[in-house]
Amino acid sequence: MAFDADLNACAALVEKGDPDRFAAAMASPVAARRVLFPLYAFNVEVSRAPWVTQEPMIAEMRLQWWRDAMEEIASGEKVRRHEVVTPLAEILQPQSAKILEQLVVARRWDIYKEAFEDAAHFEAYLDKTAAGLMWVAASALGAGEVVDETMVRHLGRATGLARFLQAVPALEEQARIPLVDGRPAAIRELAEKALAGCPSARQIKRGLPAQVRPAIAEAFLAYPILRQVVRQPQHVAAGSLAVHPVKRSFLLWQWS
């Protein structure tokens, strides 16, 4: 089954902007890629919108464009023609489009230099961004009522936290305050809490139908990254959280 121009464009965006999710999508069946690539391309575009300009107003306008696009899909209105929005409109239910709209709203934090208000604000950010994206992917792949949304969102938040902790040095270079509490002990506690809420391999196998599992394949690096943080939280500030390429390949195979 050949991809059309829009899906090829989405895949190219993800390959360039989000290599880990690209690898997870490529390890998935072709039918799942038709869902994952538009979603991940959307996430790439929204994630980088606050960073392509130093002008907050322009960044706000970029995010508003994506919010308006999700509102069009959610409301059933005529949807604007766009290489990412058009294939998204084909796979999203109205409720999923509303979840992605909230993802866009949450990304407003990235525009400004203020810290998160508290731990609850940070968790909500992870829930609306990484967890929301993972749940929408699961829904689009047929999760329905048979899949525990709480389980998927726990895994999504853990994956989002792992990625966020890897990005801490880059955020600090941009004069951002990424963590509510940057002490090693507090960072370790964040990772421990995230791991405690994650499902086991057995729970995933029992709780997710095979056709839905590609939605969570992007979590293939979350567990080892968070375990590194638990063992040596100082790696966060040092920017040295990483997984060996051989182990990375094995984990990708294991999760796909």
> Which range, of 2-11, 60-69, 126-135, 222-231, averages the lowest pLDDT?
2-11
pLDDT reading at 175 higher than 70:
yes
146 shares a domain with 91: no
Neighbouring C-beta atoms of residue 92, cutoff 10 Å? 25
Instruction: Report the share of the chain in percent with pLDDT over 90.
Output: 89
Interacting residues of 2 by C-beta distance below 8 A, sequence separation 6+: none
136 shares a domain with 107: no
172 shares a domain with 103: no
135 shares a domain with 98: no
| Token pair in block for residue 35 | 């869902």
133 shares a domain with 79: no
Q: Which of 53, 77, 112 is the last residue of a domain?
A: 112
239 shares a domain with 126: yes
pLDDT tens figures, 79-89: 999 999 999 99
194 shares a domain with 68: no
99 shares a domain with 188: no
Q: What is the pLDDT of residue 151?
A: 93
Cα–Cα distance, 60 to 54 (Å, whole number): 11
Among residues 70, 71, 53, which one has the least CA distance to residue 62? 53
Task: State which residues form the domain around 252.
Answer: 118-256
Cα–Cα distance, 175 to 107 (Å, whole number): 17
Q: What is the pLDDT of residue 207?
A: 87
The mean per-residue pLDDT over the stretch 12-25 comes to: 97
65 shares a domain with 185: no
Given pLDDT bands bounded at 50, 70 and 90, which one contains residue 2?
low
> What's the chain's average pLDDT?
95
Q: What is the pLDDT of residue 213?
A: 95
pLDDT tens figures, 189-223: 999 999 999 988 888 888 899 999 999 999 999 99
Q: Which of 82, 112, 142 is the last residue of a domain?
A: 112
Give the CA dihedral 142, 143, 145, 148, nearest 10 degrees.
180
Q: What is the pLDDT of residue 1?
A: 44
236 shares a domain with 128: yes
Q: What is the pLDDT of residue 146?
A: 79
Domain count, the chain: 2
Q: Which of 112, 147, 176 is the last residue of a domain?
A: 112
60 shares a domain with 165: no
pLDDT reading at 30 higher than 90:
yes
Instruction: Give the phi and the psi of residue 117 in degrees, each rounded to 5.
Output: -65, -40
202 shares a domain with 150: yes
